[in-house]
Structure 1
Amino acid sequence: MNQKNSDPIHFWSAHLQTSGNKKNSTHKQDLFWKELTDDIFWFKRPIKTLSGKGKKIKWFLGGKTNISYNCLDIHLNTSRQNKAALIWESESGLVKTFTYQMLFSEVNKFAALLKSSGVASGDIVSVYLGPTPDLIISMLACWRIGAVVLPIYSGIGAEELLIRLKKSHTKFIITQQSFNRKGSVIKLINNIHKIIDYCEEVISVIVRVGSVGQVINGKKDKEIYSDDSHFDISESPPAKIDSNHPAVSFFISRGLQNNLLISHLTAGYFIQNKYSFKYIFVPDERDIIISTADLSTPDGISNSVIGPLSNGMTVLVFEGVPNYPEKDRLWKLIFKYRLSILHTSPTVLRAFKKIEGIEIDKKLLDSLRLICLYGESISRDTFLWFKNIINKKRCRIINTYQQAETGTTIAASGSGSIENLIPLPGVELNVIDKTGNILPKENPGHLIIKNAFPSYCLSDFNYNQPKIKSDFYNTNDAAVIKHDGGIKILGRTDRVVKSGSNRIGLFEIETFASTHHLVENAIAVDYPDEVKGTGICVFIKLKDGTEESILLKEELRNYISEKLGAPYKPDSVRFIKDVPAEAKLNELIDKLKKELLSECNWLGLKEKEEKKLLESLMHEL
């Protein structure tokens, strides 16, 4: 491998410095994206790259392709046929390896089972699975037959699951009996049993039992336990899917709205995911990537499924968490499999930094050539701590920017500061004030996307805050363009936070907290957390006559977690005497935030000033 080309930052910076490429990407989009259509397989090539504007925009008109085919079939008559596509290690140490040929066979057999169960092109299939090979097999099988994948995080509670199944009009659910996480058995099927009687539109629940199906008598009439062993791989040829056919949907939170459903379209979603992954990572045949992003998230799908498989790479997936059963499990996985790319979040690094009694052996990480961060900004002290551990000129650390709405990574740090992001070719970002005027450098404001691109969820492209006068998509992130042209993200400007790399709506926590029989009202407030980046404190006004206690605080924390899922569990609960009317509510939230911020003694002056700046930008909305 050419060392110069193996350095993604050098390769990428060279692209960004080429004015012709930049011009084509932002001002002549049809030409830029048309060139990238040559990089995938089409059953029928598009007759036009781009048509329409805003919500009416369409990409790659007339084209027919298939995501599953482009991730698997294209490798079968090449030297990659018997190359490892997927390595999976369970929490107990069990290892399963799938070559591209083996993964192709598993996907085809399960696709045939889906069709025999009544799943048709366009049906929404909720994939409710833990981080196992079954999740990847299920998504690829759905895409093979044209079904729309709705990944649902395995950590959410039964009530939140019910809301998503009903709002999405899910017809089929793919799940499993259980998986392991931090020594506990997570029984997903139990949550299905709690709610299935309320899901009138669900036709069948397809239960995966291992990577090879077996028949078990179901407890519910709608359950089908997957037995795909008698299906032949030839029974499920890839469907010829229209470019603008939905491929995947996600639930997101924005402002005071929770569980908004967005969708990404087949050709645009796939092409830009393959391109951005190839552009950032510059994959080599010997590369093996590991990502700590959950497979049900946009980051997980981009960097553990579509990105690596479409580019012929090997991906390692592990059950559980990076620091269990051993505190240094992640580093030992890197050493054991000689992994070359680590895709992880600053939260994971901060967690390792805080673990006492563990020293990371630098030899465990000497195979890494690239560490890619996602989900949030990284503090300078954490960055320097980890950089010192790596201590290698050849291994680069970069930061990336992606939202569920964008469908894939759209910006990453260049060769300068890790905080400063540069848009990928094909994407144009800018910072505006509340009246929609573009701000000069070093002036904080609201980050917008100025142009449409293929992976974007078109249903949401012109989403604007009512007080932001702009014709462009408002990301709801505050940012500043630095003197060198890089973009520094300051944080969310709505009541949605990134906590432990999870996107959480504070209003959603308040809504469910208020359903507790002892709670009259609730206010969720975010604050800086040394490990997760953002912590959540819920201030509770109890009903008259209810006695405050430490036990009740813990009961309320657990209540919210049971209703919404583990990521939503507040870090703390505090009691307050009164919650004012809506007109004065913001004043109280400001007061509570200042109170929490004053308790963060570990924060430096610069970080505290940035938090105050972010608050002022939020008030513009």
Structure 2
Amino acid sequence: MPDNPTTKHARIRSLEEYHEAYRRSVENPEQFWAEVAEPFTWRRKWSKVLDSDMAAGRNEWFQGARLNITENCLDRHLASRANKLAIIYEPNDPKTRHLRLTYRELHQEVCKFANVLHNNGVEKGDRVCIYMPMIPQLAIAVLACARIGAVHSVIFAGFSATAIADRVNDAQATVVLTADGLNRGAKQIPVKRVVDEALETCPGVRRVIVVEHLGWPVHMHEGRDVWYHEEAEDVPKTCPAEEMDAEDPLFILYTSGSTGKPKGVVHSTAGYMVWADYTFRNVFQIEENDIYWCTADIGWVTGHSYLLYGPLLAGSTSLMFEGIPTYPDAGRFWEVIDKHSVSIFYTAPTAIRSLMAAPLDNVLSYSLDSLRVLGSVGEPINEEAWYWYYQHVGKERCPVVDTWWQTETGGIMISAMAGITPSKPTHAGLPMPGVQPVLLTQEGKEIEGNDEEGYLAIKHSWPGIIRTTYGDHERAVQTYFAPYKGYYFTGDGARRDENGLYRIIGRVDDVINVSGHRFGTAEIENAINQNQNVVESAVVAFPHDVKGQGIYAYVICRPAAATKDKAHIEASIIETIVAQIGKIAKPDKIQIVSGLPKTRSGKIMRRILRKVAEGEISNLGDTTTLLDPAVVDEIIEGRK
């Protein structure tokens, strides 16, 4: 990439370079990351690269450094990329005109929004919650908070009022940014009305700034609510960037905990910046003229790291999509790729599987010639979906990067680098430089060698590591650092193949022990999903008198299977599993369902499925934050 200020140490271009970079990152991590971080814009350089005590959950990177992340996302690009597209916005309705913002225009809009925040009393360190549709103002608002040193906490615009209130109160936010409403596919969601309901139990909020998106009439609470367009009328298009300490919090992002209380994952400024940039460049092998599209909502960490911060730090063009993959039809993704000549496409296996269920003509109707890299994120991608994606979307010429990481890791940890390092279906691949994964026994002993499996942990700090859980550091310690002292515990099980490639086999609490044989839920699901009748499946354990644990499979069938006998379909699924894994992995129960309980980010809530399988349907917890809460009632009724 010419004229890029962070190319020198950041870009790996061959397998040999990968191995050399990985070696240096393990042997001398401080020197390695100092070299990677050197070309960024710093107000003051660091006095120490790393100060870490993993057992205490304390990880500080680039100690003493001063910077502002938006100067690295925007200002430093103005000399050579002022007229380059920074963001392309594709609206929900394909008949609505798309919008393009250059780096100069984005810089001006961010400064305007930052000045509006200043004028409404937002100061450095304040927490600002953002509940907006996927529109340019969402990206602008996030960057505006970072510009003035406010800590942003984006809440997916689809969460219930209760879920919003929990997050606003936990973050002690004083300001909320929102919009009048949104369209998601054919659905209309009254965003402002949901915020109003949430704030009935949020006494700490003193200001709500409302973006006019659809022109819907909304109730404006006198003394609290203001329109953004009115506040922005006469503000300057320049705003000095607040100088931040390397370890100052950049954002809080809430994840669902195993308890009802969400965890506020905190990421800091400098380490997160370096990690997001480094992983983005290398995993996707970014070139100067790429049009890059991550389909995630900014309400999730994928949207933070790989729709917004990563691409802008690298000076890339990032496409932002308001809609859903099946509206107005199942060809929408492919239509958008052709329309904007997208070269890198990053989406979730859930989306891929939903599109696999549609007629293939929805894909074949488009050329997709601009594509050169495909990516997958959110969960391990099953083999059938991997091949469908590779063959029909990538035309067998685009490498597929199956990325493994978590909200808590800040960015990609294990993945192929497109066209550089080995890629294998159902396997994430090799660790990124700086990531030292280990497999542990249940007792915490490291498992040496290849062709092994165990609990996945990371034994050295990396720049993007979680700093704390907001307001409760002990919770972070107990969740991530206490289970195995000296390690970050991922909560996932993994297998290392004969060549050292890692395969994620599901959450540790999703490992099923059948008569002493351990099966990852992902492994069984991968086998089920290869059956010709199946679109998607979810597998959980339930108590079994003989085996200890039995296997309960929830299965979504293809529309064409609707005419087939249920017993025939179940027998066919069992035959597929036996062929793929063996008789020991046969499900004890198979329930055919129309949908699965998923979070808004597309993750299957196996906790709910386990309770249903066990017959404990009286204590399922809050289901209002699910994508479709009604599907739970249907599953319960089907089990009866």
TM-score (norm. length: structure 2): 0.77
Q: Of 169, 172, 175, which residue of structure 1 is paired with 2:175?
A: 172
Whether 2:159 is the aligned partner of 1:156: answer yes
1:238 aligned partner: 241
Matched AA of 2:422: S
Output one character per residue of 1:108-152: Cα deviation in whole Å (capped at 9) or x when no partner: 001000001010111111111111101100000000000001010
1:39 aligned partner: 39
Instruction: Tell me, yes or no, if the aligned pair for 2:401 and 2:423 is still in contact at 8 Å.
Output: no
2:76 aligned partner: 74
Offset of 1:574 from its aligned partner?
5.1
Offset of 1:216 from its aligned partner?
8.8
Q: Of 412, 422, 425, which residue of structure 2 is paired with 1:415?
A: 422
1:87 aligned partner: 88
Output one character per residue of 1:572-602: Cα deviation in whole Å (capped at 9) or x when no partner: 54559xxxxxxxxxxxxxxx9xx99xxxxxx
Whether 2:417 is the aligned partner of 1:428: answer no
Q: Of 239, 248, 252, which residue of structure 2 is paired with 1:249?
A: 252
Query: Aligned runs of 1:587-606 on 2, under 5 Å?
Result: none
Matched AA of 2:433: P
Query: Aligned runs of 1:429-578 on 2, under 5 Å?
Result: 429-440=437-448, 441-459=450-468, 462-463=477-478, 468-494=483-509, 527=554, 534=604, 537=609, 539=612, 563-566=624-627, 570-573=631-634
Q: Of 52, 60, 63, which residue of structure 1 is paired with 2:62?
A: 60
Matched AA of 2:67: T
Instruction: Tell me, yes or no, if the aligned pair for 1:254 and 1:495 is still in contact at 8 Å.
Output: no
Q: Of 200, 205, 210, which residue of structure 1 is paired with 2:203?
A: 200
SS of the aligned residue for 1:422 comes to: coil
Offset of 1:312 from its aligned partner?
1.1
Instruction: Tell me, yes or no, if the aligned pair for 1:451 and 1:472 is still in contact at 8 Å.
Output: yes
Query: Aligned runs of 1:133-144 on 2, under 5 Å?
Result: 133-144=136-147
Q: Distance in 1 between matches of 2:219 and 2:622?
A: 33
Q: Distance in 1 between matches of 2:348 and 2:52?
A: 37
Q: Of 286, 303, 306, which residue of structure 1 is paired with 2:289?
A: 286
Instruction: Tell me, yes or no, if the aligned pair for 1:463 and 1:473 is still in contact at 8 Å.
Output: no
Output one character per residue of 1:200-219: Cα deviation in whole Å (capped at 9) or x when no partner: 111211112249x9999823
1:13 aligned partner: 15
Q: Distance in 2 between matches of 1:287 and 1:493?
A: 38
Offset of 1:9 from its aligned partner?
12
Query: Aligned runs of 1:277-426 on 2, under 5 Å?
Result: 277-356=280-359, 358-361=361-364, 363-390=366-393, 392=395, 394-413=397-416, 414-420=421-427, 421-426=429-434
2:532 aligned partner: none
Instruction: Tell me, yes or no, if the aligned pair for 2:265 and 2:468 is still in contact at 8 Å.
Output: yes
Instruction: Tell me, yes or no, if the aligned pair for 2:249 and 2:266 is still in contact at 8 Å.
Output: yes
Offset of 1:51 from its aligned partner?
2.0
Output one character per residue of 1:309-345: Cα deviation in whole Å (capped at 9) or x when no partner: 1111111111110220122000010011111000011
Q: State, as a whole percentage, how many aligned pairs show the same letter.
A: 27
Q: Distance in 2 between matches of 1:32 and 1:315?
A: 28
Q: Which runs of 5 or more residues in structure 2 are unaligned?
A: 470-475, 512-520, 526-537, 541-551, 558-594, 597-602
Instruction: Tell me, yes or no, if the aligned pair for 1:129 and 1:154 is still in contact at 8 Å.
Output: yes
Q: Distance in 1 between matches of 2:11 and 2:365?
A: 23
Matched AA of 1:483: E
Q: Distance in 2 between matches of 1:391 and 1:152?
A: 33
Instruction: Tell me, yes or no, if the aligned pair for 1:299 and 1:402 is still in contact at 8 Å.
Output: no
Assess, with a 3 A threshold, how the Cα gap between structure 1 residues 568 and 481 changes in structure 2: closer, same or farther.
Answer: farther
Matched AA of 1:385: W
Offset of 1:105 from its aligned partner?
0.8
Structural RMSD (CA): 3.3
Offset of 1:16 from its aligned partner?
2.9
Instruction: Tell me, yes or no, if the aligned pair for 2:283 and 2:401 is still in contact at 8 Å.
Output: no
Q: Distance in 1 between matches of 2:217 and 2:353?
A: 44
Q: Distance in 2 between matches of 1:191 and 1:216?
A: 11
Assess, with a 3 A threshold, how the Cα gap between structure 1 residues 214 and 354 changes in structure 2: closer, same or farther.
Answer: closer
Matched AA of 2:236: D
Matched AA of 1:376: E
Assess, with a 3 A threshold, how the Cα gap between structure 1 residues 28 and 222 changes in structure 2: closer, same or farther.
Answer: same
Instruction: Tell me, yes or no, if the aligned pair for 2:363 and 2:393 is still in contact at 8 Å.
Output: no
2:571 aligned partner: none
Q: Distance in 1 between matches of 2:144 and 2:199?
A: 23
Q: Which runs of 5 or more residues in structure 1 are unaligned?
A: 507-524, 544-555, 577-591, 597-621
Offset of 1:526 from its aligned partner?
8.2
Q: Distance in 1 between matches of 2:325 and 2:400?
A: 19
Count of residues in correspondence between the two structures? 533
Instruction: Tell me, yes or no, if the aligned pair for 2:371 and 2:394 is still in contact at 8 Å.
Output: no
Q: Distance in 2 between matches of 1:467 and 1:569?
A: 37
SS of the aligned residue for 1:31 comes to: helix
Instruction: Tell me, yes or no, if the aligned pair for 1:433 and 1:439 is still in contact at 8 Å.
Output: yes
Offset of 1:400 from its aligned partner?
0.5
Instruction: Tell me, yes or no, if the aligned pair for 1:214 and 1:225 is still in contact at 8 Å.
Output: no
TM-score (norm. length: structure 1): 0.79
